[in-house]
Each structure stands twice: as structure tokens, then as C-alpha cells.
Amino acid sequence: MQQVKGIAVSRGIGVGKIFIRGSAEQAPQQQVVKDITREIARVEAARVAAIGQLDDLYRKTAGQIGKAGAEIFLAQKTLLADEGMAGQIRNLIEGDAANAEYAVYTVGERIAGRFAALDDEVMRARAVDIRDVSRRVLRNLSGKEAVLPESDEPVILLAEELTPSEAAQLSVRRLAGIVTGRGSANSHTAILARSLNIPAVTGITPDLTYNGKNAVIDGEAGTLTLEPDAAFTRKMKKAGEKEEERRQTLLRLKDVPSVTKSGREVKVVANVTGLLDTEAALDNGAEGIGLFRSEFLYLETNVPPSEEKQYAVYRAVLEKMGDKPVIIRTLDLGADKQVPYFDFGPEENPALGYRAVRICLNRPDIFRTQLRAIYRASVYGKAAIMFPMIISVDEVRRCKAYCRQVQAELRAEGIPFAEDVPLGIMIETPAAAVISGKLAREADFFSIGTNDLTQYTLAIDRQNPWVADMSDAHHPAVLQLIRQTIENGHKRGIRVGICGELAAEPKLTRTFLEYGVDELSVAPSYILPVRSEVVNAE
Ligand code: PEP
Ligand code: MG
């Protein structure tokens, strides 16, 4: 018996034989083509075929696990149907007389690389989705199908990387578990694995000597046990049954309001990046969206998203959420989240530099476009606006002044908007937490961003692996700032939520309840575990 440790991705216990999937396709060589028109037509045909396949995959997966789990394929289709990616591929073919395969691969890698470099794990995980799209187009260009394991007995699949479409195709087979070398708990493959209820672990490099061996995967402990003895297998199967019971119990909380035993309501809402995870949020019983990271819209294209494009996305999310509140955070680019079209130049300390509201207040063109889009969409639901990285009262006043300006503009143009959109701020700098009493006079609500608050309070770069071990969001200094912010907000009668990763730690839920928090905003998959803590608290 040998045990290998990885990173837990999707809970559950699986018993089966290991199957190692071959590594991903090789990078295509660049060639100079004579017939550019033909090359563009080949890409077009492959693109149209890929869009059709993604439609089929969406329908099939939605039938299996519901719309939320399948939504990734609609998002991939949008990416492919969008002029952004197609235009870049065409430009490369036309500009360099490049072959279609090379152009598709290069553009896919370019966009994926941008996401892979991000600090935010959710955003980083998008790189795999984008590679999945470009590989699909490449497969259509070559006419070759993806290689999938053929097996009738339960299989634990090992692969260096598994894309969402591969995972979805595998779902029909008897998959006891998925183990990948690369990946993250927030990738769409991970999300799919969780929706499909397949145990999954990442961070274990597929070793060819494992192939064909019996194994047990434990998706919660993040382990793979090779050649387990009978007693261990029996014990793990029992644990698997218990886990399934726990899952069923949590699911019963989906439509239960988040109210403590003593009757206090503490809403459990979702952090999302767009329409894709809004479905997942609803499927997990979200009582609203506590953080819509709008920068995702800016990261997925090569040009700034137009007012129209932003309006369409905000409207769709608001409509989907109906009468549930949706807090849209204004642009939080800079530092870890860079885009090519705003060339702000290199910075010595980007996390302390030109980012978020600092950019917006310096670039009214960008800021006003976004505010117009949000206000226009506000008539379709219950929108709120939130400003990130605030350090002063003056910044809040200036943000609000832009809101008033945009409202006046829309009024003059006869465009409807909701008059009562609450304007809140993120408390994610120690400065903001310290002066939260003053800021509470200016803001309609607070949302505490514990990721940045921890980074800036402890002076530990979120992105630096050398100090990652030292980053402790439970540090008394961070907890004290959280408590103080909640108290100061309440003194002024405004609601205070927490939307950083810390909000999703069920072990801290009771502490936050004691502090008086009004709302916890977490990734969709954490809504039910956190709600379970709330409804069981006094
Ligand atoms: C935070 O800083 O806690 C936060 C929620 O914002 P982001 O992680 O997007 O910086
Ligand atoms: Mg932040």
C-alpha cells in the first residue's frame, strides 16, 4: 500500500483501477502558407464545428447535471463566437501568413497565459477553459478525436491536465475519480467534478508505473492510495457512504433561509465572475451576489469591453438573480490583473501601485463607461455598486460624484435607471478599516475583502510563493480589523459583509456571527457548508 498526497478538489471516496491518459497535444509548428484565404476558411469551418459541438455538449451535460454545471460550455461557445478571439486568429494568419493550426494554438495560449498569470485562483483557472476551446478547434482542424479511456470497470483517471470538455465526456463512463498533475480547486474541471459528484484530487503527477493498479482516491483528504489492502478499502467505502449522506443533508438547505436558531438573519451570498457562476450560485441556493468581480469582462478580450457589452452582461446577471441583490464591484485591474490594452508600464510594487479605484479615478473614460452600463442595467434587478481598494473618504466622494454625473447624463438622454442603487465600498486596506467610522458616513454598505486586507495588514504579497506560508488570515490583527469595521459600520447603521476567502471558512462562521456580520459572500460551492453553520448557530 502506498499513499500519494495531493490537493483536495472534489470530496468523495472512489475505488477503481488507475488509467493514465496521454499528455496533451504538441504545439503546432509555424509554417508559411501561400493561400491565406483558404487558411482562414479552414479556421472558420473548424470554429463553426466546435461551436456546434459545444452546443451538443451543453445539452448533454445539462441533461445529466443541470444547467449550472453545464454552463461552462456556453461560456466557451461565447468565447469562440466572439469576434475577439476569431479576429486575433485571423490577424495572425493574415499578418504572418501563418498556418491555421499555429494561429489557433498561439492565440489560445496568449489569452490563456494572461489568465494563468493572475493571482486570483478563480481567474487563473480560466486558462484551462481557454486552452480547452483552442484544443477543440485544433482537433476539428486535424479531424482527430480526443483520446478517452475505454473501460467497463470503475476507473480512476490520471492526467497531467484535464479540460472541462474531457471531464464532461468522461462523466458517462464509470469514473471513480480524477487525479490531475496540474489544476486547481477552482478550475471548471474541478467545478464539473463536484457537480458530477466525482472525487477529484490535483497536484499529483501521473507516474506511468501507477497504470493499471488498484487504488482508492479520497477527494477530501486529497490522497491517492495505491494497491490498498482489503481492510483499508472496506474502511474507505464506509467513509464514502457517510460523505454521501453529508452531501444529501447539505442539499436540503438549498432553499432554507440563512437564519440562526435565535432568529438572526445572516445572508449567505455568492462571489461570481459573470453569468457562468451566477447559475452555479443559484443552484447552490445563493441569497444574492455579494461580489461580482467585473474585471473578468475586461480580462477576456483584447479591447476594453464596450458599454453595450457590459450592459448586456450586467443585465443578464441581474435578470437571472431576479429580486435577489447583486453587488457589482467596479473594475479592479492592476497589480495581479493586467490587460494589454491599458499599458500602464512596469511598476516596482504593483500591489501597492496603480490599481482598482486609483485607475478609475484617473481614467474617467473607463470608469464612466462602466458606471453607465451598470446604471442602465439596474432597472432589470436589484443592483448595488461597490468600489474596491478604498483608502480615503475623498476617494469615496469622488466615486459618488461620478455616479451622480452618470445619472444626470442618463436622465438627460431619457435612459431609465434605478434611482436607489446603493453605493458601497470594499474594506480591504488597513487604512480603510482604521477609518471605517468615517467611511461609514459616506457608504451605503461595507464589504470586507479579507484577501487584500490580509496582504496589506501583514505586509505579505498574495502572489509571492516564498511568503505564502506566512500569510495567515486568522492573524489577530486581521480579525481585529474585521471586528472593528463591523462595529463602526453598525454604529452608522449600515450593513457589513465579508467577501474574501475567509468568509468561506466554516470554522470562522461563528466568530463572524459574534462580531455581528450581516452577510457572508463565498464561492458557490461553499454556500451550503457556510449556511449549515449559520442555521446551527445560536
Ligand atoms: C479581497 O481582496 O478579499 C477580495 C474579495 O477582492 P479580490 O480577491 O478580487 O482582490
Ligand atoms: Mg481585493
Instruction: Quote the percentage of the chain above a pLDDT of 90.
Output: 52
Of 9-23, 144-158, 242-256, the least confident: 144-158
Going from the Cα of 295 to the center of ligand 2, the distance in angstroms, rounded, reads 12
* Closest approach atom of ligand 1 to CA 388: 6
The answer to whether 138 and 101 are in contact (CB under 8 A) is yes
Q: Closest ligand to 499 CA?
A: 1
Alpha-helical (H) ranges within 8-82 are: 36-65, 67-81
Q: Is 267 in the pocket of ligand 1 (CB under 6 A)?
A: no
Going from the Cα of 501 to the center of ligand 1, the distance in angstroms, rounded, reads 8
Q: Is 295 in the pocket of ligand 1 (CB under 6 A)?
A: no
pLDDT at 186: 58
Residue with cell string 441569497: 287
Please report, for residues 441, 480, 481, the alpha-carbon distance to residue 515 in angstroms, rounded to integers and kept in the order given. 20, 10, 11
pLDDT tens sequence across 22-34: 644 568 889 999 9
Please report, for residues 41, 77, 293, 328, 358, the alpha-carbon distance to residue 396 in angstroms, rounded to integers and kept in the order given. 51, 38, 19, 16, 11
pLDDT at 471: 82
pLDDT tens sequence across 408-426: 999 999 999 999 999 999 9
pLDDT at 172: 47
- Helix, strand, coil shares, percent, the chain, to 5: 50, 15, 35
Q: What is the mean pLDDT of the chain?
A: 88
Query: What 8-state DSSP symbol labels residue 28?
Result: P
| Three cell numbers, residue 41 | 476558411
Closest protein CA for atom 1 of ligand 1: 449
pLDDT at 144: 65
The answer to whether 219 and 12 are in contact (CB under 8 A) is yes
* Closest approach atom of ligand 1 to CA 500: 3
pLDDT band at 312 (very low <50, low <70, confident <90, very high): very high
458, 499, 519, 521, best to mutate for ligand 1 pocket (most atoms within 8 Å of CB): 499
- In angstroms and rounded to an integer, the radius of gyration of the C-alpha atoms of the chain is 24
Closest protein CA for atom 6 of ligand 1: 449
Averaged pLDDT for residues 223-244: 92
How far, in Å, CA of 428 to CA of 430, rounded? 7
Query: Which one of 360, 399, 403, 499 is the catalytic residue?
Result: 499
Instruction: Quote the percentage of the chain above a pLDDT of 70.
Output: 93
451, 457, 482, 521, best to mutate for ligand 1 pocket (most atoms within 8 Å of CB): 451
pLDDT tens sequence across 48-94: 888 888 888 888 778 777 777 788 888 888 888 888 888 999 999 99
Of 119-128, 298-307, 377-386, 391-400, the least confident: 119-128
Averaged pLDDT for residues 339-357: 85
* Closest approach atom of ligand 1 to CA 449: 3
Averaged pLDDT for residues 467-478: 87
pLDDT at 130: 87
Going from the Cα of 29 to the center of ligand 2, the distance in angstroms, rounded, reads 40
Query: What 8-state DSSP symbol labels residue 27?
Result: P
Q: Is 463 in the pocket of ligand 1 (CB under 6 A)?
A: no
Dihedral (CA of 116, 122, 125, 130) sign: negative
Q: Which domains does the chain have, with CATH numbers?
A: 2-22+147-231 (3.50.30.10), 36-142 (1.10.274.10), 267-535 (3.20.20.60)
* Closest approach atom of ligand 1 to CA 455: 2
Facing residues of 329 across strands?
A: 293, 386
293, 329, 352, 502, best to mutate for ligand 1 pocket (most atoms within 8 Å of CB): 293
Q: Is 293 in the pocket of ligand 1 (CB under 6 A)?
A: yes
Averaged pLDDT for residues 157-177: 72
pLDDT at 390: 98
Q: Is 332 in the pocket of ligand 1 (CB under 6 A)?
A: yes
Going from the Cα of 500 to the center of ligand 2, the distance in angstroms, rounded, reads 8
Judge whether residue 188 has pLDDT over 70. Answer: no
Reported in sequence order, the residue ranges of 360-518 that DSSP labels E, i.e. its strands, are 382-387, 423-427, 445-448, 495-498
Known catalytic membership, residue 474: no
pLDDT band at 173 (very low <50, low <70, confident <90, very high): low
Facing residues of 32 across strands?
A: 98
Averaged pLDDT for residues 182-210: 77
Q: Is 461 in the pocket of ligand 1 (CB under 6 A)?
A: no
Q: Closest ligand to 501 CA?
A: 1
Known catalytic membership, residue 399: no
Q: Closest ligand to 123 CA?
A: 1
